[in-house]
Amino acid sequence: MFAVLRRNLGILIPTALAAMAGLAWLAFGYFGVHTLFIDDVVDEADPFAVTAVSLDTAAGSAPATSDANDTTSPEGNATAVPTTADPDVAVPAPSVEPESMGPITTFEGMFVSLDHATRGTALIRTDGSRTFLRFEDFETDNGPDLNVYLVRADASSGEIGDDYLDLGDLSGNIGNQNYEIPPGVDLSDYRGVVIWCVRFSAPFGGAVLTPIETAASSS
């Protein structure tokens, strides 16, 4: 009898361990349940604010240039150097560089909860040459394979349609973050943004994007 029990245990224990390993893989490897208990916090600055600070720093550190036409006498008095102008040589007009458009917000929307609690603000920010989707005060549940989609469908219902624009993986489930939009994208074709779980085809949250002029006039 004991021999039979030992033989059965020798079969049951490895089988049970294999089953537990399989369940653990399903729970953590496939379903990613551990991500629900781990927050990925990010805090990215407005990309145009970073650019402005860099330009101001570069301008402040530029060395002063000396005027090669100024001379100083040993007594410290400036002596003017006479110059003659050739009447046949045209003096070019000073060039004026066109002012670049400052960064503006063209679309905005508030996140609503879909399959998971989600909140925050979605903004489209551009300076005329580069365009970003920016999340501010953003928070949702963490999960596996979360992506950021610009959608033509109604984002508040969680629909993404077939012609969405994938902006890549969600940087973090909490905090401010930026996603660059490829050049040439006509944003008037898109109605909102959806946080989409690719693995389970589930919307975590969405925001309907409204042109900023419309939002301002309605407030």
* Dihedral in degrees, nearest 10, Cα atoms 156, 160, 161, 164: 120
Per-residue confidence of the chain (219 residues) as pLDDT tens digits?
A: 666 656 666 666 766 556 555 554 445 555 555 566 899 999 999 999 865 544 455 455 555 555 545 555 445 555 555 555 565 655 555 554 445 568 999 999 999 999 999 999 999 999 999 999 999 999 999 999 999 999 999 999 999 999 999 999 999 999 999 999 999 999 999 999 999 999 999 999 999 999 997 444 444
Cα separation, 203 vs 6, whole angstroms: 51
Q: Are 70 and 83 in contact (CB under 8 A)?
A: no
Q: Is the dihedral of CA 145, 146, 149, 155 positive or negative?
A: positive
User: Is the pTM above the cut of 0.75?
Assistant: no
